[in-house]
Structure 1
């Protein structure tokens, strides 16, 4: 299975790295060899809002054949969700793929029409922009609509990642992955 995390300049570090880490734990704790997670962008590397330069594993067009596609967030979204040439590079199918976003990344899903007429969540500063796409913005950390999910607040990356793992593999694997990151002495908080 192929999972793509979409990245760009001025991305929010935790919104990319938390899902990256959790989703890669499927191979580590589950030994699932055909599980591949890639960070994709429009350049060979992108710079985070905190100034970290990270290499990409490929170009965003690879997401079109992925089983799950997750969009990061950050200041860089503001330019991209209004850029038809950027958006046209995605040929995603809600019938065949899981499609999700972190925080302001929901603006990209809104601009592509995936959230019209649905409930979704985003970072509070992007709520009015998201509503302009005909979206009912709700004050929740995670909202699921079948094969589409939105998460808001960096730590909600756990919920978004859990959704991908649970949907593609199952609850047992989700629990195994989450057990590896829970604070010592705390019980699991499974979504």
Structure 2
């Protein structure tokens, strides 16, 4: 089973954490599973939605994939050195992605290096202040690291996880086709796959806890 930690802090954006997690979990029967991973037993979203974490923050050391979600308190997160120390991420063995202000976390962890990143408009100046070039694009990936900008770009991040060294393009297309607005199925899937394939992820050689491609789980 390829395990995905969707790291979710207090003040989180529901769209970022829940869309990525829900899309990835449609592949659960094929060996890919996501868990809302939190630093405290319960966290509260930017809109007051309280959720229980499915895994504690220490799960990031076990996960094959780690996605850092965004929220209105990300600047508090990166100012909390003990909390950042609980995120010992390793791009040599893990796929690591960020959503919107999650790019600021990756920057503070020193994971972006000279790599440009995608983030949201509010977070952009703070990410740039870390010396990172911010792209006017929804998704960018280099090697085992990816960033997405804009809440609905979480579908691109989930697509990247599904097709990059895990289940493959057919599984990603099946998931996207199912969740797309009726009548826009192919358009939605094609758009997401174009964004990810532009980064060279489609057809990549399996490397991270690879499982065989199969039909995506549907519910």
**Aligned twin of 2:22:** 21
**Aligned twin of 1:90:** 87
Instruction: Name the CA distance, whole Å, in 1 between partners of 2:162 and 2:139.
Output: 15
- Tell me, yes or no, if the aligned pair for 1:116 and 1:133 is still in contact at 8 Å: no
**Which sections of structure 1, spanning at least 5 residues, go unmatched?**
none
Compute the displacement of 1:69 (Å).
Answer: 0.4
Aligned residue-pair number: 187
* Aligned residue runs from structure 1 range 122-141, under 5 A: 122-141=119-138
Compute the displacement of 1:169 (Å).
Answer: 1.4
Q: Does the residue aligned with 1:124 lie in a helix, a strand or coil? A: coil
Instruction: Name the CA distance, whole Å, in 1 between partners of 2:176 and 2:90.
Output: 28
Is structure 2 residue 161 aligned with structure 1 residue 164?
Answer: yes
Is structure 2 residue 13 aligned with structure 1 residue 12?
Answer: yes
Is structure 2 residue 186 aligned with structure 1 residue 185?
Answer: no
Instruction: Name the CA distance, whole Å, in 1 between partners of 2:8 and 2:103.
Output: 13
Q: Does the residue aligned with 1:135 lie in a helix, a strand or coil? A: coil
**Aligned twin of 2:107:** 110
- Tell me, yes or no, if the aligned pair for 2:27 and 2:33 is still in contact at 8 Å: no
- Tell me, yes or no, if the aligned pair for 1:23 and 1:165 is still in contact at 8 Å: yes
- Tell me, yes or no, if the aligned pair for 1:39 and 1:58 is still in contact at 8 Å: yes
Compute the displacement of 1:20 (Å).
Answer: 1.1
Instruction: Name the CA distance, whole Å, in 1 between partners of 2:7 and 2:47.
Output: 17
* Aligned residue runs from structure 1 range 27-176, under 5 A: 27=28, 31-32=29-30, 34-167=31-164, 168-176=166-174
Q: Tell me the alpha carbon deviations over residues 26-72 of structure 1, each in whole angstroms, 9 at most, x when there is no partner.
A: 12xxx32x432111111111000111110101211111121110011
TM-score, structure 2 normalization = 0.82
